[in-house]
Structure 1
C-alpha cells in the first residue's frame, strides 16, 4: 500500500496535472492524438492497481468496430484502455462519480441513461457516429457487472441499436468483435471464488467498500482475449450474432479461469 501511495503522489498526480488540461482541449475538439494521453493514463493506472495485462489476439483496426465484452469491475476499463484505443459506453451514473466521471469524459465516454427509453436513440446514434468515423466502441453487453465466474446473457437490443445507428451514420457494415476479460491470478495464485470479492464490483457492497478492496488488493493478472471479428450489416440477425459472441466469450472465460489454453490463439501466433 505504501508503494501505491508513493506512486500516486510522485507519478500519477504530476502526470495528471500536466495531462488533464491538454486532454481537455484534445477531447473537446476531437483533435488528432486525443487517444494518446488516455492510453498512458490507463497504463499508469494498471501499474498503480497492481494489474498485469496479457493480450491474446488483437483489437480490430481500420474498420468501424463494435467490441462486445463481459464485465467484472471498473478496473476492466483500466485494463482495456491500457492496450487499446477505444470509446467506452457507460451508464449515466458513472458520469456523475467524483473524479472517475471527469476522467471518463476526457476519454469521450458515451453515457447511456437506462431509466429513459427516449435516451436510447441519442446514445445509439452517438455510438454509430463514433464507429462510422473509424473509432472502435466497447460495449459491456451484459448490461451490468458480474463476479467473473460466468457470463450473463448479452443484450441483443444494445447491439441492434448500434446496428441501426451505424446505418444512419453512413457505415455500410460494422465489425462485431467479442472480447473476454478474465482475472486469472491474485498475488501469483489462481483466483478462487472467495478472492473474486476483492476484484469484482459487488453490488451488495457500498461504493466505498468496493473501492477500498480493489485499491488495497494484491497483484492481479488480467487476460484480454480479442476474438475474430464478425461482420454486422443492416441485414444481419442481431439476436443470432449477439448469441454467437456471447457463447464465444463464455467459452473463453471458463477456459481462462481454469488455466486452460485457447487453441485458436495459439494457432494465430
Structure 2
C-alpha cells in the first residue's frame, strides 16, 4: 500500500460502530465454521473450497455487492488492478482465485495462516536463491488448472487510474508455460474514493471505515479478453498489453 495522496477521514457514527460489530461477529462465525471444514476436506483429499467460501462470506459480511462482466477463463493467470483489500474477497468469489503475493504478508502470523489456506504463493524478489522454487510453484498451480491472480501495480492505487505495471512481477512466467492463459481484469468500484486504500492511511483505519459503511460497496469485475499472439512474447509485452487493456476499459 502506497501513494502519497490524501485519504478520506470519516467520522464513524454510533450506528456505524454497531454495524461494524455485527459484521465482525459474522466474520468470526464464518471463521469458526470454515476452518474445521477446510482441514477435514484436506484430510480427505477433497477440493479446498472452504477458504474461498470463507473469503466470499467475508465479502458479503463487509457489504460487498458484486457484479460481473465478460467471460472468465478458468485456470487463467489474472492480471488485475489493485484498489483495496476487498479485491481479494471479490476475486475469490468471482474467479475462485488464489493469489501471488509479496512475502511481506507472511510476516503476520494470522494473515499468513489465512493466505496459506487459500493456497497463496509468496514471492520474494530480493532472495535470488528462491526464484526457482517460486517459479515452480506458480507453474505447478497453473498446470493443475488453478486460477491465480497477480497485481502488477505492486500496491494499491486510488482506483481512478493505474500505477505503472511492474514487469518484474511476471518473471516467473517467462517463458510462459505451454497452454497457459493470461487474462486482464478490471476492478471498477462505484464509490472508489471511499473504498480505495491509499496515502498514509493505516490499514486498521481503512478496515474500520469500510465495515462502518451504511451503503454497500458496489463493484463490477470486468473480465477482459485474454492476451494473445505477440502480447505473450515475454513478461514486458504481457505487462504492457495488460495495462493497456485495463486502462482502456477504465475510460
- When residues 124 and 216 of structure 1 are mapped into structure 2, their CA distance, relative to the original with a 3 A threshold, is farther
Q: Which structure has more RCO (C-alpha within 8 Å, separation ≥ 6)?
A: 2
- When residues 78 and 51 of structure 1 are mapped into structure 2, their CA distance, relative to the original with a 3 A threshold, is same
Aligned residue in 1 for 2:187: 181
After superposition, the CA RMSD in angstroms is 2.5
Give the counterpart of 1:222 among 190, 215, 219: 219
Query: Deviations 1:83-119 (Å, cap 9, x if unpaired)?
Result: 2211201111222335333211110111112433333
Report how many residues are paired: 234
Shift of 1:148: 0.8
Give the counterpart of 1:18 among 33, 38, 51: 33
Measured in 2, the distance between the counterparts of 1:181 and 1:232 equals: 25
Measured in 1, the distance between the counterparts of 2:233 and 2:44 equals: 31
Aligned residue in 1 for 2:45: 31
Aligned residue in 2 for 1:207: 203
The alignment partner of 2:99 has SS state of: strand
The answer to whether the 8 Å contact 1:24/1:106 transfers is no
The answer to whether the 8 Å contact 1:65/1:176 transfers is yes
Aligned residue in 1 for 2:91: 80
Q: Could you tell which deviates more after superposition, 49-58 or 149-158?
A: 149-158
1:21-60 aligned within 5 A: 21-26=36-41, 31-34=45-48, 36-60=49-73
Structure number having the greater strand percentage:
1
Any unmatched runs of 5+ in structure 1?
186-190, 256-269
